Amino acid sequence: MKILKNIIIQGKHSKPTVTDVFYKEDQQPKKVVVFCHGYKGFKDWGAWNLLAETFAKAGFFFIKFNFSHNGGTAVNPIDFPDLEAFGNNNYTKELDDLESVIDWIATNTTYKNEVDVNDISIIGHSRGGGIVLLKANEDARVKKVISLASVCDFGSRGTITDDLENWKRTGVKYVLNGRTKQNMPHFYQFYLDFKENETRLNIQKAVANLKIPQLIIHGDKDTSVSLDEGKKIHTWNGESQLEIIKNADHVFNVSHPWYKENMSKELEEVAALCVSFLKK
């Protein structure tokens, strides 16, 4: 298996999109899968590398990346050394970053014998799930979409709704990262960007408009994003497929760091469902 880590993609914004690819080097065109991490996430979190290997072994060309303003850097893509960037992130930047990654693989000559650019699917976890649902509706190059423990609505999240007056007055509000103990900033631009692009960022409208195969996966023990959100997404597209993973939490029972050689049973189930769906 070929694994290339920390490839730099220059996107529309000032910071690079740091990207990994996993594939079997066999000169055979492969279906492309692009994976998006969630809020306070990164491409090397937990068992995401094991997930990537699983897809590569199943015959896919798997790409995962850090959103340009997720708080990581090209030198240190794990965790959040650049909190200034984190504070300047927003949903439209993430949509731009995903588009940049799709553009990059669609035009890249290095992998031209390894990828089928006419068969690109996108997968997103948590907030990244909302991003892929929006992008799938916008970009005709996307042929299938999978959301894992996805949010169903950006407008009702605490990052948007909490303490608006104080946020406007001070220009910043902070969210504690329980694992790293960092106070992670959200600058007021996050709210302004959301309001300015509210129609585009409507997940319900995007899902209702989807004309491609859609898979929704959610754990029944998710305390971060309720299973009800996954069920709502399913109701908005009668053609979508909903799979509920028993006893799975928001991250399908893996954690960071993850030192085990295998994924959790629940994440293995997720991977199997994804592979089956994408191979259909």
Can you give the pLDDT at residue 232?
Answer: 98
pLDDT over 90 (residue 159)? no
In a domain, 13, yes or no: yes
Q: What is the rounded distance in angstroms from the CA atom of residue 89 to the CA atom of residue 190?
A: 7
In a domain, 174, yes or no: no
The CATH number given to whatever domain includes residue 234 is 3.40.50.1820
Look up the domain containing 43 and give its range: 2-157+198-279
pLDDT, one tens digit per residue, over 203-244 is: 999 999 999 999 999 999 999 999 999 999 999 999 999 999
In a domain, 86, yes or no: yes
Residue 183, φ and ψ in degrees, nearest 5:
-85, 110
Can you give the pLDDT at residue 239?
Answer: 98
In a domain, 75, yes or no: yes
In a domain, 66, yes or no: yes
Percent of the chain surpassing pLDDT 90? 98
Determine how many CB atoms are found less than 10 A away from the CB of residue 122. 28
In a domain, 167, yes or no: no
Q: What is the rounded distance in angstroms from the CA atom of residue 203 to the CA atom of residue 206?
A: 5
pLDDT over 90 (residue 160)? no
Task: Kindly indicate the confidence band of residue 158, based on its pLDDT and cuts at 50, 70 and 90.
Answer: confident
Q: What is the rounded distance in angstroms from the CA atom of residue 9 to the CA atom of residue 96?
A: 12
pLDDT over 90 (residue 175)? yes
In a domain, 166, yes or no: no
Q: Rg of the Cα trace of the chain? A: 18
Tokens found for residue 170: 């001070």
Q: Kindly tell me the number of DSSP H helices and DSSP E strands found in the chain.
A: 10, 10
Tokens found for residue 199: 């129609």
Domain count, the chain: 1
pLDDT, one tens digit per residue, over 11-41 is: 999 999 999 999 999 999 999 999 999 999 9
The whole-model pTM stands at 0.98
In a domain, 163, yes or no: no
> In angstroms, what CA-CA distances link 276 with 36, 231, 272?
19, 21, 6
pLDDT over 90 (residue 3)? yes
Can you give the pLDDT at residue 133?
Answer: 98
Q: CB within 8 A of 39, min separation 6: which ones? A: 126, 127, 159
